[in-house]
Structure 1
């Protein structure tokens, strides 16, 4: 069977978290950059589908294609690292510290931002014929969406900030379940199906995703949206990052760890042999 049981894939989650904290700087940056590029293009596909059909659900149906591609290629989103990397620390893996976790988050996040900004600028060129014509219908949609989710939150003050934070929690619950979904099957088809479902939910419900927002809002500003970097950071990116951390760790990975990890503790063969030998020696002595 291609399905992998929770007691097995939770072990994979911990191993993956440990591996991410010990990956080289160059690899984390490169994998993060490529993930940012692919996910940004998936956003363009989704927004284009929404504009062409007038149905938001269609965009949600096609958006997961980018997540599936980058996951199968072994690229990294910081949102997935938010959930997986701390597991290695909770499991007391040697060499894993909070400093190594923050390093992992920072480098992957920087790579995601670099990739997102590259695609944002190039897509802006594509949508405006190298800035020679007015933004087309797809570009106008990007402007409207980015404005609503920055200025719209800013106009509500703290209520808007909290709303963004809560949406980000729900987002990374789904995104981390998507990451984990790829670990629940041995077949490509099974992995894609398991990843597609939670990513569809997050996009359909318009939750806030750190890497998507690294692309969406810079693109909006390049195309002429009426808000600045400070508004984007204070009323979207910062609460989104914080909410994604909470959603990934508290709601997605920790519950799986707590309920299934106790059944997956690795066997220390040397200790087990030593204990059996000691028990045998004691039996021999007692017999004498």
Structure 2
């Protein structure tokens, strides 16, 4: 399975970031909706697979959930969609290379925050709540427990957890960029995403599914969601933009732009 070396991957990431920032608004809206829905499908699958597993299995339950969750990002990368957290890496790299403006980043992140949320809650309500896949029996218990574990974090805990989540998510995107074939892209995505889910880090788009799913079932409030959203968003931005985008740009692209 051939792959591009890191410097070539950095150049690709800059170009992809520039392209994403210049997508027409209609394209960003449609692909943003799909991105939120695809990640939500991954989390819905996690709930359905782990909901009946015995608590005595301990962290094995988290490992199994992490092993199925990556289908969401596989769909984003291979089927085509726009995901806020991946763009938190690619667009800052394009900005550092002076290919786009800061306002372009603000506009893109704003559109994707809204459209990823719409896609995620669409899946949470229609398939999770209406069909009962997250609102009945052990699946409800699992949904509430997972949502509660996110909401119970303090601001700083959620912020730091968000850094860890998007550091790994953007590494998954980075490795997917580097791979030259479909199998390599899937493997490159799978392991970092499995790691972030099994560890229990907080991902802003994933939370757009699991917390509203619990809210639709009568648990928690939208205020609880907003209190969680802010630190996780900020942490994800730091994890993607700084720990992946900026560090790799500094390492591989800095001299080419001077």
TM-score normalised by L of structure 2: 0.92
Residue 118 (structure 1) aligns with: 122
Q: Is the 8 A contact 2:36 2:118 kept in 1?
A: yes
Aligned residues: 250
Q: Choose the corresponding residue for 2:209, options 201, 215, 218.
A: 215
Could you tell me which residue of structure 1 aligns to residue 184 of structure 2?
Answer: 190
Q: Which runs of 4+ in 1 moved over 6 A?
A: none
> Could you list the per-position Cα deviations for residues 97-127 of structure 1 after superposition, in whole angstroms to 9, with x for gaps in the alignment?
1111110111112110110111111120111
Question: Partners of 1:88 and 1:254 in 2: how far apart?
Answer: 10
Which of 106-115 and 166-175 deviates more? 106-115
Which residue in the other structure is 2:75 paired with?
69
Partner of 1:149: 150
Q: Could you give the per-residue CA deviations for residues 226-281 of structure 1, whole angstroms, max 9, x where no partner exists? A: x21112211x1110000000111111111111111257x39xxxxxxxxxxxxxxx
Map 1:229-244 onto structure 2 (within 5 A): 229-234=222-227, 236-244=228-236
Give RMSD over aligned pairs: 1.7
Match of 2:155 among 136, 147, 161: 161
Higher radius of gyration, 1 or 2: 1
Instruction: Please state if 1:33 is matched with 2:63.
Output: no
Counterpart of 1:97?
Answer: 101
C-alpha distance 194-128 of structure 1, shift in aligned 2 (>3 A): closer
Task: Name which of 81, 86, 90 aligns with 1:84.
Answer: 90
1:209: Cα distance to partner? 0.4
Matched residue, 1:271: none
Question: Who is 1:277 aligned against?
Answer: none
How much does 1:128 deviate? Answer: 6.9
- Cα distance in 1, alignment partners of residues 133 and 117 from structure 2: 22
**1:53-74: per-residue Cα shift (whole Å, max 9, x none)?**
3422101011111211221112
Task: Tell whether 2:193 aligns with 1:199.
Answer: yes
- Find the residue that maps to 2:107 and give its secondary structure: helix
- Displacement of 1:24: 0.7
Assess if the C-alpha contact under 8 Å between 1:143 and 1:224 holds in 2: no
Q: Which structure exhibits the higher relative contact order, with contacts defined as CA atoms closer than 8 Å and separated by 6 or more residues?
A: 2
Compute the TM-score of the two structures, normalised by the length of structure 1. 0.83
In structure 1, what is the Cα distance between the partners aligned to 2:149 and 2:98? 43
Q: 1:262 to 1:149 in 2, by over 3 A?
A: closer
In the alignment, which residue of structure 2 is the partner of 1:275?
Answer: none
Q: Report the alpha carbon displacement of residue 40 of structure 1 after superposing the two structures with TM.
A: 0.4
Does residue 256 (structure 1) correspond to residue 248 (structure 2)? The answer is yes
**1:184 Cα deviation from its structure 2 partner:** 1.1
3-state DSSP of counterpart to 1:53: coil
Q: Distance in 2 between matches of 1:128 and 1:79?
A: 26
5+ unaligned residues in a row in structure 1: which ranges?
154-159, 267-288
SS in 2 for 1:121: helix
Aligned to 2:8: 8
